[in-house]
């Protein structure tokens, strides 16, 4: 399987930080200035398939990036996201965490409403409490 991160980015001059199991680099399609990706060095598409050490390495680099992005870009907040699976919008088959440093007046969207991004547009009905309780019970039982 072809992976642009493995073939062109990891180990290149674009890489800005690295630890034993992960690295960070700026995305080539930034939403705001300083938009970076943190990825495991091992090519794995799904978060659930990463080892605990890889997950920890990703979080360690994420913390490092937060401090740097605050100093360099004056970040006052952050958006974090990943897409997993083609039907969820994942276009590169390598797990990658997006970190977007946010400042007042930047070019990103401020009024984040998940229904506008993740669900069908327009109005959606609120689920009745009884149905939510049933869903909660099913999930708790599966745990």
Q: CB 82: neighbour CB atoms within 10 A?
A: 17
Supply the residues annotated as catalytic. 96
Cβ count within 10 A of residue 41: 18
Q: What is the 3-state secondary structure (H, E, C) of 46-98?
A: CHHHCCHHHHHHHHHHHHHHHHHHHHHHCCCEEEEECCCCHHHCCCCCCCCEE
């Amino acid at each position: 399987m072809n992976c642009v991160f493995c073939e062109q980015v990891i180990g290149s001059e674009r890489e800005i930080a690295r630890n034993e199991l992960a690295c960070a680099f700026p995305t080539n399609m930034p939403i705001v200035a300083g938009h970076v990706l943190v990825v495991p060095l091992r090519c794995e598409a799904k978060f659930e398939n990463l080892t605990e050490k890889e997950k920890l390495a990703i979080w360690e680099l994420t913390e490092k990036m937060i401090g740097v992005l605050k100093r360099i870009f004056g970040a006052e907040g952050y958006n974090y996201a990943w897409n997993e699976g083609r039907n969820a919008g994942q276009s590169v088959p390598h797990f990658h965490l997006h970190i977007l440093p946010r400042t007042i007046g930047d070019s990103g969207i401020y009024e984040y409403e998940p229904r506008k991004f993740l669900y069908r547009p327009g109005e959606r009905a609120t689920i009745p409490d009884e149905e939510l309780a049933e869903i909660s019970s099913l999930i708790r039982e599966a745990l």
